[in-house]
Structure 1
Amino acid sequence: MTTAAVSRAEAPPWWRGAVIYQIYPRSFADTRGDGVGDLPGITARLDHVASLGVDAIWISPFFTSPMRDYGYDVADYRDVDPMFGTLADFDALLARAHELGLRVLVDLVFSHTSHQHPWFAASQSSAADPKADWYVWADPRADGSPPNNWQSVFGGPAWTWNAGRRQYYMHNFLPEQPQLNGHHPAVQKALLDVMTFWLDRGVDGFRLDAINYAMHDRALSDNPPRAPTQGARTRPFDFQRHLHNQSQPEILPFLGRLRALTEARGKAFLVGEIGGEWARTEMKSYTADDQRLHSAYSFAFLSAPRLSADLVRSALAQWSGAPGEGWPSWAFSNHDAPRVVSRWQSATGAPLPAGLAMALLLTLRGNAFVYQGEELGLPQATIPFDRLRDPEAIKNWPLTLGRDGARTPMPWSYGAPHAGFTTGEPWLPISAEHAALAVEVQERDPASTLHLTRRLLALRRAHPALRYGALELLESGGPLLAFDRMAGMQRVRCVFNLGDEAIDGGLLTDWQTLVAIGADPTATMIMPNSAVLAVPGE
């Protein structure tokens, strides 16, 4: 069955099954020579993104910010930080993306702001200010200590004392990221107005950062401890079950308000980032019944230290396609997680083949997020301590890989200074290993990860079964992962050997190979760490 044979009347909206390319603007392309990527740099390199065959781009925050958390501490939701350019630069980027057939998602941080946001300046000025309750304030305990035991993700208590108000203010992340009081009707209206501002500029959707942190338990109840787990805990945050500082039921009607706004303004796409103990449950409740978010993704794969067939089967089994069920999104790499080819190693310790990871990502039922450089198979970069910029990495060094190794600049050209990213000194160093995998190098190599990524994306576009079809897990055990994707009369079989030994290839008997990665399509065995995508034989 061809794409043309699928009834246009039955075709789902553009975002269902979309592939979305994440751009981390500090590290994509620098046009000014200051070592920091900018919006004109993104515009100049959009041809590369469009050539991949993705549907949309998601741009991490570029708003005015003191950059304590590199843009996720917003001081003005309605303007561009001068290091990235201007609103006019954003408008030019948006126009060019639309010319190339790319939709644009803006990253909105609605759980907290920067401590330099005018809203917080007003809130901390006086308990009588009209914005006094726009953030989460609480009196100290009788002994002067914080009001409860909540811990911050970045280490230490989730409370900081403010002498002016003689109260503590809450922050789930850095002290410079005070928590918005998402319960407050005026705060909700202000955030809806922010969304309206960007919709008026023509954006196509929003990625909502840490959206399950948007509200807290107003009783400020203590969090209970977590049961002991294997492995070292590097943060006080990891010792608690986060029943009360996140994941409150009042978030759901707020998401309904966001959805109603986007529906009224042209059906912009909403996808949420959801982390934590209840991520799977919240992914489903936040997307249920087509009333809230269109899609959501969790850290099921982003935090997994090793890929296994059981991990994938468990994630997919949660999404049966039942009536009223939402639509998932999946990501293997992003700016908050070590790059997948370094994080997921085989049982022998060898890096996971980049092409295998890309093939798996692009055949799962749901939307796929591809992080810049993932199409090149970039490994995690090694950053010396004196060059670290990430506050989380600095606090936890050397116990964790940190986020800087996934945020280093994009390599464009092997022979140019700093791999063609900048003419100045880059904000993070570019490794020789990354330069050797530059776009320019891989363009010349038909067997490169870049060309394989384009082939896989073209295959996904050509087969509705892969884009938005149903998924049926096949009976297989151990490291063999096999499933069929189906739409109408079309069926694509996806078989992955995620182990270190060859496995009988009986599941592919009488099937015609579309793509083989690390496998011989004529062999009777499926080789270790390989993948085969196939359709029924003629």
Structure 2
Amino acid sequence: MNVLHDAPFEHAPGAMSRHAEDPDWWRGAVIYQIYPRSFQDSDGDGIGDLKGITQRLPHIASLGVDAIWISPFFTSPMLDFGYDVSDYKQVDPMFGSLADFDAMITEAHRLGLKVMIDQVISHSSDRHPWFVESRQNRTNPRADWYVWADPKPDGNPPNNWLSIFGGSAWQWDTSRCQYYLHNFLASQPDLNFHNPQVQDALLDAVRFWLDRGVDGFRLDTINFYFHSAGLEDNPPLEHDQRNAKIAPAVNPYNFQEHLYDKNQPENIAFLKRFRALLDEYPGTTAVGEVGDAQRGLDIVAQYTSGGDKVHMCYSFEFLSQEPLSPMRVRSVMETFQEKAPDGWSCWSFSNHDVVRHASRWADQVHDRDAFLKMTTTLILSLRGSVCLYQGEELGLTEAVLDLRDLQDPYGIQFWPTFKGRDGCRTPMVWSETEPNAGFSAGRPWLPVPPEHLHLAVSAQTARDSLLAHYRDMLAFRARHAELVKGDIRFLDGGENVLLFERIIAGSTILVAINMSEQAAELSLNLENHETMADSGAAGWVENGALKLPPYGSWFARKGGRP
């Protein structure tokens, strides 16, 4: 067996400029999510901002990712921290200005990073001028821009729909003497996508940011855009199906099968309108967030197939509490392949809405660092694009906060059984010695957990650090087209080893990942396979058998270079 060596990868600004002429750069791209409130504060008010993002872009570029996704920074009362937009075309002053955004996107592009921004268009803030006008009466020009309905004869809401944030999805309004729909907070009324004027206005806002040079969008709650115009009651969900959920277990939202409040067929036509707009700007893309526990992969398949809707979606398969295993990973991947042979998914293990996977999964293992290196290797080897969440490259764990420190209305509502999302939103740790870990000169909006300090960027300079592993694995992925855009075929690796091939243009990379704490040994036909030494993998071949240490991996190429 030969050992194959590749030229070393230089982590340098502009390294990702290879995508400049590739309109399909998004296919297999690695996207780094920035939660702006918690990334870097430049003015000492304790809240991260756009200038802070610009300041820290070199760190992101040094990782070797392809793009950044910035969570909302638009004008907002911040009752849901920017996911309640009151002006789709302005930067909230706490984050800076449009000039700061323009400077940030210029610097990102100079460093070879694409820029994607959140678009929260299923709902707005109740302080948005559209809603302020809509709620005045039933005859104003925007009276039908939101979802209004009369009460039942007994005064109750028009149906049994529930809010993800708890309680009824309907809020009584005394001006119109009607209920309005809110799938989230009562201060986040749902826009009425059945009205073409609403669609036009939202697409106009999307065009505004395209004209400013953004490369794509993350579409929040993409399957919530349309509701059933008939306002039918949702049926109850069978008890044995309630274990699959996108809301915390204490939330009765999980008790319903959400047939009528989301996932409506009319959404397809709107997504085609959205895609047609993006196609006017070559090289732009969109990734949709699919929030559904029962049929998430079906919706992802539907929304990404055919090349005329969104380019890619992600669902909650790998954002749930369910532990990782070779069988589970293979099942999710093969199910998606079967449902959407021409579709494309985007995988993530952590984001701003769920418990960080460094706690969700790694709290149950003895060697957290080895486990997190394994999950890094795993997600960067699977077919699909990838979203990495700020701080996961450092191994940040879920912060445990006191009730007095909580900011998230979700956590305050369901405390103490569910503590909300603040634990994954604490500030990025840049320095183990600077005040507030280098995040801010002022008091941070959420505390910096003391247990995060030893994980700071400045502390992870060793070649065996988790941060170094992310950089090495991202560089390895970028060097090999099989891992970026290739097909995938799973093989039998037994109970503990995920074994698969990535294939493109006649070239195949065999990937073996031991997902357990025990060493593993596989008897494989490795004729004509060349071990890829540049992977930094820990596995080896001895007497014709592949040996993998706990959480170890191994890569080999079969066939010529693509």
Deviations 1:41-93 (A, max 9, x none): 00010001011111110000000000111000000000000000000000000
Normalising by structure 1, we get a TM-score of 0.94
The match for 1:120 is 131
Once the two structures are TM-superposed, the CA of residue 141 in structure 1 deviates from its matched residue by: 0.5
Aligned equivalent of 1:436, options 454, 472, 478: 454
Aligned equivalent of 2:114, options 79, 100, 103: 103
Helix, strand or coil at the partner of 2:26: coil
Aligned equivalent of 2:482, options 437, 442, 465: 465
Q: Is the 8 A contact 1:338 1:401 kept in 2?
A: no
Q: Is the 8 A contact 1:355 1:377 kept in 2?
A: no
Cα distance 1:11–1:485, how it changes in 2: closer, same or farther (>3 A)? farther
Matching of residue 256 in structure 1 with residue 278 in structure 2:
no
Normalising by structure 2, we get a TM-score of 0.90
Q: Which amino acid in the other structure matches residue 30 of structure 2?
A: V
The match for 1:241 is 257
- Kindly report which structure 2 residues correspond to 1:475-494, keeping only aligned pairs within 5 A, or say none: 475-494=492-511
Cα distance 1:508–1:383, how it changes in 2: closer, same or farther (>3 A)? farther
Helix, strand or coil at the partner of 1:47: helix
Cα distance 1:69–1:50, how it changes in 2: closer, same or farther (>3 A)? same
Aligned equivalent of 1:534, options 552, 556, 560: 556
RMSD: 2.3
Q: Is the 8 A contact 1:34 1:424 kept in 2?
A: yes
Helix, strand or coil at the partner of 2:135: helix
Once the two structures are TM-superposed, the CA of residue 321 in structure 1 deviates from its matched residue by: 8.2
Q: Which moved more, 1:383-392 or 1:489-498?
A: 489-498
Once the two structures are TM-superposed, the CA of residue 133 in structure 1 deviates from its matched residue by: 0.6
Aligned equivalent of 2:540, options 508, 521, 527: 521
Matching of residue 213 in structure 1 with residue 224 in structure 2:
yes
Q: Is the 8 A contact 1:480 1:503 kept in 2?
A: yes
- The CA distance in 1 between the partners of 2:29 and 2:166, in whole Å, is 36
Q: Which amino acid in the other structure matches residue 248 of structure 1?
A: Q
Q: Is the 8 A contact 1:515 1:533 kept in 2?
A: no
Q: Which moved more, 1:28-37 or 1:525-534?
A: 525-534
Cα distance 1:102–1:331, how it changes in 2: closer, same or farther (>3 A)? same
Matching of residue 284 in structure 1 with residue 301 in structure 2:
yes
The match for 1:359 is 377
Deviations 1:322-378 (A, max 9, x none): 996211110110001111121114865764721111111111101010110111111
- The CA distance in 2 between the partners of 1:135 and 1:427, in whole Å, is 32
Helix, strand or coil at the partner of 2:179: strand
Cα distance 1:367–1:262, how it changes in 2: closer, same or farther (>3 A)? same
- The CA distance in 2 between the partners of 1:223 and 1:146, in whole Å, is 13
- The CA distance in 1 between the partners of 2:82 and 2:22, in whole Å, is 37
Aligned equivalent of 1:155, options 163, 166, 181: 166
The match for 2:60 is 49
Aligned equivalent of 1:228, options 230, 236, 239: 239
The match for 2:11 is none
Q: Is the 8 A contact 1:19 1:369 kept in 2?
A: yes
Q: Which moved more, 1:173-182 or 1:399-408?
A: 399-408
Q: Is the 8 A contact 2:362 2:372 kept in 1?
A: no
The match for 2:288 is 272
Q: Which amino acid in the other structure matches residue 316 of structure 1?
A: M
Helix, strand or coil at the partner of 1:194: helix
Helix, strand or coil at the partner of 2:171: strand
The match for 2:404 is 386
Q: Is the 8 A contact 1:150 1:222 kept in 2?
A: yes
Q: Which moved more, 1:517-526 or 1:360-369?
A: 517-526
Q: Which moved more, 1:88-97 or 1:321-330?
A: 321-330
Deviations 1:264-313 (A, max 9, x none): 23341011000112210110110111010011110110114311112111
- Give ranges in structure 1 of 5+ residues lacking alignment: none
Helix, strand or coil at the partner of 1:216: coil
- The CA distance in 1 between the partners of 2:415 and 2:41, in whole Å, is 29
Instruction: Among all aligned residue pairs of Structure 1 and Structure 2, give the percentage whose two residues are the same amino acid.
Output: 48
Helix, strand or coil at the partner of 2:556: strand
Aligned equivalent of 1:316, options 333, 340, 346: 333
- The CA distance in 2 between the partners of 1:501 and 1:31, in whole Å, is 46
Aligned equivalent of 1:453, options 445, 451, 470: 470
Once the two structures are TM-superposed, the CA of residue 402 in structure 1 deviates from its matched residue by: 2.6
- The CA distance in 1 between the partners of 2:283 and 2:463, in whole Å, is 39
Q: Which amino acid in the other structure matches residue 55 of structure 1?
A: D
Once the two structures are TM-superposed, the CA of residue 134 in structure 1 deviates from its matched residue by: 0.4
Cα distance 1:412–1:347, how it changes in 2: closer, same or farther (>3 A)? closer
Q: Is the 8 A contact 2:28 2:484 kept in 1?
A: yes
Q: Is the 8 A contact 1:516 1:531 kept in 2?
A: no
- The CA distance in 1 between the partners of 2:79 and 2:455, in whole Å, is 30
Q: Which amino acid in the other structure matches residue 447 of structure 1?
A: D
Q: Which amino acid in the other structure matches residue 180 of structure 2?
A: Y
- The CA distance in 2 between the partners of 1:259 and 1:178, in whole Å, is 25
The match for 2:151 is 140
- The CA distance in 1 between the partners of 2:119 and 2:383, in whole Å, is 25
Q: Is the 8 A contact 1:319 1:325 kept in 2?
A: no
- The CA distance in 2 between the partners of 1:375 and 1:248, in whole Å, is 37
Q: Is the 8 A contact 1:152 1:237 kept in 2?
A: yes
Deviations 1:10-35 (A, max 9, x none): 97711111000000000000001011
- The CA distance in 1 between the partners of 2:41 and 2:32, in whole Å, is 18
